[in-house]
Amino acid sequence: LGWIVESQNRTSSYSALAHHVKSPLAAEALALWEALLKCRELGLSRIRCESDSAVLIKAIKAESSLDGLYGILADIQALAFSFEYISFHWISCMRI
């Protein structure tokens, strides 16, 4: 899993290992969960989360569940309450 945290003039890359991940969508959700944990650890209180997974962002915004991702989505939504401000956005990812 990998994610980037940008704050003011600093950009940092992070990664974590995940075994037996069942789908790319599950990997995206786990990466977002890990990123939220890292942001909380760093003491960030206002964050903007971006993902190229429209399905994931839609599920988070609707506070709904997806097959096989209920626990991860519930953890993401619970972690979101630990921030003063949080937003979730879909971004286009150009693929060649």
Q: State the pairing for strand pair 85-90/46-51.
A: parallel
Report pLDDT for 67.
75
Give dist(CA 8, CA 76) in Å, integer.
24
- Residue tagged 């990123």 (tokens): 35
The count of other CB atoms within 10 Å of the CB of residue 37 is 15
Given a cut of 50, whether residue 96 has pLDDT beyond it is no
Give the H/E segment covering residue 51: strand 46-51
Q: Which pTM was predicted? A: 0.86
Given a cut of 60, whether residue 77 has pLDDT beyond it is yes
- Binned at pLDDT 50, 70 and 90, residue 94 comes out as low
Give dist(CA 71, CA 64) in Å, integer.
11
User: Higher model confidence: residue 47 or residue 96?
Assistant: 47
